[in-house]
Structure 1
């Protein structure tokens, strides 16, 4: 559930086919730069009602899913 929502947000923001977003995808491999990441994090914070202070430490989609699971 968390992964699907995150993948949907990334897909929408980055115009990437959701099927191309995997748990082990790195943000770098998805061509997500720091500005894109800020926008994605803002949407995820709103969607899950969490605060992501250290987004720069999150390197993969799995890292982000684990963070949400641990903090919601």
Structure 2
């Protein structure tokens, strides 16, 4: 899966989960500052990512993910490790 395909899937999840217009989502979007996500919102989002991409995201790693770009980079890196 390419980085663009991963971004598109992550953006679709965010649009649905956080009720944000799809065209407003970019890699710099911050979960806490821009989406006003609380810890429960973020945990639910991470669980949805795990289901979508078939990999586990540790709590320690999840805490380091602040922007959409960081999430995409994380998935790309861990997708490569699974091969």
Q: TM-score, normalised by structure 2?
A: 0.82
Provide the C-alpha distance between the structure 1 equivalents of 2:47 and 2:11, rounded to a whole number of angstroms: 14
Matches within 5 A, 1:7-46: 7-28=11-32, 29-46=34-51
Displacement over 6 Å in runs of 4+: none
Give the paired residue count.
72
Q: Which has the larger radius of gyration?
A: 2
Structure 1 alignment gaps of length 5 or more: none
Q: TM-score, normalised by structure 1?
A: 0.94
Structure 2 alignment gaps of length 5 or more: none
Provide the C-alpha distance between the structure 2 equivalents of 1:32 and 1:10, rounded to a whole number of angstroms: 11
Q: Which residue pairs with 1:67 in the alignment?
A: 74
Provide the C-alpha distance between the structure 2 equivalents of 1:47 and 1:64, rounded to a whole number of angstroms: 13
- Aligned-pair CA distance for 1:50: 1.0
